[in-house]
Structure 1
Amino acid sequence: MPAISMFYGIIVYLYFKDNKQHKSPHIHVRYQEYEVVVSIPEGDVLEGNIPKSKM
């Protein structure tokens, strides 16, 4: 998995060919057992959830 950033237990992933499920540019973010997909540059949550303090 291509992790592009790691800080405070948060890992940000960017996949090169991940357009089957989400058509807009986005990143995957993991924190402990949580995972969220966030559109870029808007920052809208496309899928999943993560604690508000970590968003």
Structure 2
Amino acid sequence: MAIGAADPVLVPEIMHALRADIRNCPEPMVLKEAGHFVQEWGEPVAKAALKAFGLS
């Protein structure tokens, strides 16, 4: 899970509550400057995902 800390719609508190409902969800990656559209931060998100899966 990637969280945009500057998201005015789904603020980090909402995303952490959602995470609690997802079984075995690891700690989220919080992108301090990212907003609602975290996918716009594609490279850091993709690199972190690859690292999490042991592919980098």
TM > 0.5 fold call: no
Larger helix percent: 2
Q: TM-score, normalised by structure 2?
A: 0.24
> TM-score, normalized by length of structure 1?
0.24
Q: Which protein is richer in strand relative to its size?
A: 1
Max Rg structure: 2
